[in-house]
Amino acid sequence: MSTSTDRNTTAGLTPLRPSGLTRWLALLGVWAALGAAVTYVLAFDPTDARADPTGPCTWHALFGIDGPTCGGTRMVWYLLHGDLVPAVRHHLAAFIAVPVVLYALSWWTVYSVSGRRLPSWRPPTWVYFAYGAFFLLYAVVLRNLPWEPFTWFYVDNLTS
């Protein structure tokens, strides 16, 4: 007969934890991908009318409206050049997430390198759902509405 404590154990199994090398490779991989993305944005100016190597936006081509990621590359380009207002205009929802994502990446890096834990913020689950809902509402609906103030957030398809 099993007891409640027997059901809550892992039957002697230890949880699978990545080794030190695996954690380092994951960290280096994320930083390399971030570096490659920044290099791409700086090499191919997304604010000009010339087509980039990735071609025109598929979402724009299919539906004729801004999609969830439209303007994200331009937002990053403006951020890298210190232009905050155009960055906000091109993707407000992603702009809001930038400080949170950068802090999470910094926290992970400091912990992986030194073992120190920076202060962390653990919001309740509803915050994640609320942000996800706001992201989709903003990115797919609000900035495609044809009247002010929403037209300010519309992102022109430069390569059409």
Give domain status of residue 83, yes or no.
yes
Residue 74 dihedral angles phi and psi, to the nearest 5°: -65, -35
Residue 115 CA, chain-centre distance (Å), reads: 25
Q: Is residue 112 a part of any domain in this protein?
A: yes
What was the pLDDT predicted at 118? 92
Look up residue 114 and give its two tokens.
Answer: 């030194």
Per the domain annotation, does 139 fall within a domain? yes
In a domain, 40, yes or no: yes
Residue-level pLDDT at 127:
95
How do residues 95-133 score in pLDDT, each as one tens digit?
999 999 999 999 999 988 888 999 988 899 999 999 999
Residue 73 counted as domain residue: yes
Mean pLDDT of 65-87: 89
pLDDT beyond 90 at 52: no
Q: Which of 109, 100, 88 has the alpha carbon at shortest distance from 131?
A: 100
pLDDT band at 17 (very low <50, low <70, confident <90, very high): low
| C-alpha separations of 154 from 70, 73, 113, 140, 150 in Å | 9, 14, 41, 10, 7
Across the chain, what does the average pLDDT equal?
A: 83
For the whole model, what pTM was predicted?
Answer: 0.76
Res. 135 pLDDT band, cuts 50 70 90:
very high
At 160 the pLDDT is 52
Is residue 115 included in any domain, yes or no? yes
* Domain membership flag for residue 148: yes
Is 4 inside a domain boundary? no
Q: What is the average pLDDT across 58-79?
A: 84
Q: How many domains does one find in the chain?
A: 1
Of 112 and 57, the one with more pLDDT: 112
pLDDT at res. 137? 92
Which range of residues forms the domain containing residue 48?
19-153
Burial of 58 by CB count in 10 Å (0-12 exposed, 13-18 middle, 19+ buried)? exposed
